[in-house]
Amino acid sequence: MEHIVIIGAGQAGAALAAALRAGGHEGPITLIGAEPEPPYQRPPLSKAYLLGEMARERLYLRPAQFYEDQGIALMTGRRVEKIDPATRTLSADGETIAWDQLALATGASPIRLPESVTAGLGGIHYVRTLADIDAMAPEFAAGRRVLIVGGGYIGLEAAAVAAKKGLKVTLVEQAERILSRVAAPATADYFRTLHERHSVRILEGTGLEQLSGTERVREARLSGGETLAVDFVIAGIGVRPDTALAEAAGITIENGIRTDALGRTSAPGVWAAGDCASFPWRGTRIRLESVPNAIDQAEAVAANMLGAGKPYEARPWFWSDQYDVKLQIAGLNTGYERTITRPGDKAGSQSVWYWRGRELLAVDAMNDPRAYMIAKRLIEAGRAPDPEAVADPGTDLMGLLRA
């Protein structure tokens, strides 16, 4: 019987393994992860877990018994050094493992600050793994000073946790505004105001030039010439897909591991899913960094590994939690030409709707689950409501679904 090996024991890898077994694969399945932990959730790491509101065990996607019961060989703390599509083997910590089909679910890694900036100092943290958060947690004591580099969602979520724990927070964003790559000015304005209400100092159009100290970081020099006293630094300046194994094996890379609509890479018998994979979508090619995509794409790839032959149809959606605000995003706003901001039913709630011509591309909903739900259904159905109707606060959004 076919031996299927999955490299990467994150959300996508775990979902893929479970879907293979549920889909009827009776042969051996091996799930290999570089971290010592079993597969776990990442979103709560920088929020509930860091705040001390979630126990470590609750992070785990499945109890250990699940993998045993399902006949999934879970190999944690194992680093794969090489894959060889020609011989259908891989090397993990010196051990050679043969496979019949291979799935790459290697995820993404945070972009690190240049060594010329960090000077090899301690007290500089990144937000990605459980070990990252465990190393960071002792820093979060009330009254300490943290510098957060990067005004995307990771940086803003870290700022929210720090502010809630009573730290003095400064966030710098090199671009002209926070969320510049992922959201419209209206959404950025909403979150800037939210953070400033919680005493977070946000400096836009400001870069980090140099960190200094003795062994640990103590000062940060900013691009405007200001020098800040800091106790630690969190960098949230984006991630890169983990493609090194695929690239070394001669597999095609294009903003991640390039796959076709079924999830197949350029190497026979090798598939990819999750944050590491780019795939065709509506005439273009995208790579999505989100839990919903990791699960949905992994399950689609698992089905195709078993012969389904069904193209993956992504339905992008995302979320972020900051203070008491839940942001829900439906669709992708790439190429938008205008936005409409609509107040929600409750104080402080609103939604930002993105349009290209008369096509509804995406919606950002802040504490407005009703707007999110309706917009998501409209986008997935390919329906285009009248923008002026959406802009009118008197319009019943439910009526847009019936129109």
Q: What are the tens digits of pLDDT across the range 190-243? A: 999 999 999 999 999 999 999 999 999 999 999 989 999 999 999 999 999 999
pTM: predicted TM-score of the whole model, two decimal places: 0.95
Q: Which of 1, 2, 3, 8 is nearest to 246 (CA)?
A: 8
In a domain, 28, yes or no: yes
Q: What is the pLDDT of residues 101-123, one digit of tens each?
A: 999 999 999 999 999 999 999 99
Q: Could you tell me the residue range of the domain that residue 220 belongs to? A: 112-235
Helix (H, G, I), strand (E, B) or coil at 19: helix
Q: What is the pLDDT of residues 258-286, one digit of tens each?
A: 999 999 999 999 999 999 999 999 999 99
| Residue 95 to residue 81: CA distance in whole angstroms | 10
The torsion angles phi and psi of 125, rounded to 5 degrees, stand at -125, 155
In a domain, 25, yes or no: yes
Domains held by the chain: number: 3
Per-residue pLDDT, averaged over 130-148, amounts to 97
Two tokens at 140? 């979060």
Say yes or no to pLDDT of 186 above 90. Answer: yes
CB 336 within 8 A of CB 294: no
Q: Which of 96, 90, 102 is nearest to 2 (CA)?
A: 102
In a domain, 318, yes or no: no
The torsion angles phi and psi of 217, rounded to 5 degrees, stand at -65, 135
Amino acid in the structure at residue 298: A
Looking at residue 403, its pLDDT comes to 65
Ramachandran region, residue 22 (left: φ > 0; alpha: ψ -120 to 50; beta: rest):
alpha
The H or E element that residue 288 is part of is none
Q: Is the dihedral of CA 56, 36, 160, 200 positive or negative?
A: positive
Burial class (CB in 10 A: 0-12, 13-18, 19+), 121: middle
Amino acid in the structure at residue 45: L
**Any idea what DSSP says for residue 113?**
P
In a domain, 311, yes or no: no
Looking at residue 306, its pLDDT comes to 98
Please tell me whether residues 105 and 116 are part of one structural domain: no
| Residue 163 to residue 165: CA distance in whole angstroms | 5
Q: What is the pLDDT of residues 47-84, one digit of tens each?
A: 899 988 999 999 999 999 999 999 999 999 999 999 99
Please tell me whether residues 209 and 160 are part of one structural domain: yes
Please tell me whether residues 9 and 96 are part of one structural domain: yes
In a domain, 316, yes or no: no
**Share of residues in the chain with pLDDT > 70 (%):** 100
Amino acid in the structure at residue 164: K
Q: Which of 200, 235, 270 is the last residue of a domain?
A: 235
In a domain, 348, yes or no: yes
Say yes or no to pLDDT of 400 above 90. Answer: no
Q: Which of 235, 261, 295 is the last residue of a domain?
A: 235
Please tell me whether residues 284 and 340 are part of one structural domain: no
CB 39 within 8 A of CB 88: no
Q: Which of 303, 308, 279, 244 is nearest to 107 (CA)?
A: 244
User: CA 252 → CA 165, 265, 268, 271, distances in Å?
Assistant: 45, 7, 12, 12
Q: Which of 235, 253, 279 is the last residue of a domain?
A: 235
Looking at residue 304, its pLDDT comes to 98
CATH number at residue 153: 3.50.50.60
